[in-house]
Chains A and B, each alone.
Chain A
Amino acid sequence: MTTTPLAMISNIAAVMPSDRAARWLVGGTLTILGVGTIVGLLLRFRTTTDAGRRTVANLNARIRAWWVMAAVFALAIYFQRTGATILFALISFLALREMLTIAPTRRADHHTMFWAFFVLIPIQYYLVYIRWEVFYMIFIPVYGQIFLAIRSTLTGDYTRYLERTAKIQWAAFICVYCISHAPALLTLEVPGYDGHPWELLVWLVVVVQMSDVLQYCWGKMLGRHKIAPHISPNKTWEGFLGGVLTATLLGALLYRITPFAPWQAAVIAFAVAVLGFFGGIVMSAVKRDAGVKDYGHLIEGHGGMMDRIDSLTFAAPVFFHIVRYFFL
């Protein structure tokens, strides 16, 4: 039996019907990043003012970082549930580190924070990995919160107790619990859907992150009316509407890698894009409160890890629930 490479590819394609869509996704990502890189280069040669140069330099740094992030994400997804779980556990770790760094804590919180880093994160992600759904849905909201509250009293320091404890609990909720719903998407098996398990996660990340990028682009092009001048001065109504609507359209166009019908994909994409927007606003409010501009310097041009995944924090758990309750 002779098999040409072409025949092999068509055989694989016949077995896995959604691989055509996956190829489009990879091709599309490479095209967008490629076009972005070329536009960035052209802008660099055409910009003459100092302020313009700074904007273009930041834009190019962001695009370079996008290449790296896309590669890391693709590599993790290649290793399926294991890769995604490890990647998001690391993301949780880095995000929690940034959030607790800017949240003022006292000496008495030292051990409480140790538990948040080295016990809550591994247990939560292990539960996700072994698919113990009823437990990972409540582990941090119930047992994590109870434990953190108890641990903070053991040192006997009650100064600003409520504030301190709430800060650590909230950080664990946002950075660990909410984010862990992203790899949990790989555990969902929609009846009658024969796509790959990673497709829901890829769809969510693409819609939410592209919504961020599109809001930035629309805002830079047409932005006039500030939407939250005190919390996030760069966000405008024009950016918000343009970004959310184009992200909705993108989500609908990508319906082939989801179990959704096109209209369902559009409705869900709209919901996660709006939640992504509010995730960004809320995480900005935390930064303003702490008096910092970025969560860190981890990703060139973007700031810290939390600055990049802020929009995923609210979108991931709600998207998980939408799929879990309407499609399973």
Chain B
Amino acid sequence: MIAGLIRLLTGAQARWCGVDPVRADGSVPTRVYFANHQSNLDAPVIWASLPPELRRRTRPVAARDYWDAGAIRKFLAHKIFRVLLIERAKVTVSNNPLRAMDEVLAGGESLIIFPEGTRTMDADGVMNEFKPGLWHLAKKHPDAELVPVHLENLNRILPKGTLILIPLLAAVTFGKPIRIEAGEDKPRFLARAKQAVQELHPPEGAGS
């Protein structure tokens, strides 16, 4: 019901280009969805755009300092979206974000991550450089599908720095999975991953 509400609110229309939500034989691979980050609505919108059987097995990754502040955020993070909360500030060996993500993937569940690390302020949608977490996950879980996701208009629906939401139409595009090519190094892989997200920008603009 919450997923339906989010879709209604943002008019989010999921497009699957170059990847099917569920494989032809009905199986669902373990996936890492990686997307551009514009708004606090990003993770809920991707989560809500997934078919129910995928949604149940997919967890967004987000910062503990934001989502553990306040009862409503806490409730949403723990009970609804099942957010995998990670530390941004005091990272130690025992709370290393990558270890928690490893465990989720090893348990056969999927993740939603935002490799830019923070929301992009740029109005033209130019993305920040990707942090290396995606590379480490890709190395450690070669069987997991790395699915690029492009989000559009969420920075206009709920931009950084306001709680006022306006009901424009969002677009969510899921793209063809990528993998580390033979002999590819970290910077080149991360640049290619970022490009994979950027290329999903709908050529016709929003909603088409």
Contacts and interface: CB of A to CB of B under 8 A. Distances in A.
Interface residues of A, number: 23
Contact of B208 (A113, A114, A293): A293
Contact of A290 (B156, B162, B168, B205): B205
B169 interface: yes
A291 interface: yes
B11 A97 contact: yes
B168 A110 contact: no
A297 interface: yes
A113 B166 contact: yes
A177 to B, nearest CB: 19
Contacts of B169: 97-98, 101, 296
Tell which of B13, B159, B204 has the most Cβ of chain A within 10 Å. Answer: B204
B206 interface: yes
26 contacts: A97-B167, A97-B168, A98-B207, A101-B153, A101-B169, A102-B205, A102-B206, A102-B207, A105-B156, A106-B123, A107-B123, A110-B162, A111-B164, A117-B166, A290-B205, A292-B207, A292-B208, A293-B204, A293-B208, A294-B207, A295-B207, A296-B11, A296-B207, A297-B13, A297-B207, A304-B207
B168 A101 contact: yes
B168 A100 contact: yes
Q: Closest 5 interchain pairs by CB?
A: A101-B169, A101-B168, A292-B208, A292-B205, A291-B205
A175 to B, nearest CB: 13
Interface in A260-293: 290-293
A295 B206 CA distance: 9
Contacts of A290: 205
A89 to B, nearest CB: 14
Interface in B54-108: none
Nearest to B168: A101
Interface of A: 93, 97-98, 100-102, 105-107, 110-111, 113-114, 117, 290-297, 304
Contacts of A106: 123
Contacts of B162: 110
Given A97-B11, A101-B153, A114 B164 contact: yes
A186 B57 CA distance: 52
Contacts of B156: 105, 110
A292 B13 CA distance: 15
Interface string B155-179: 1100100101011110000000000
Nearest to B156: A105
Interface in B182-208: 204-208
Given A105-B156, A296-B11, A297-B13, A114 B207 contact: no
B45 to A, nearest CB: 15
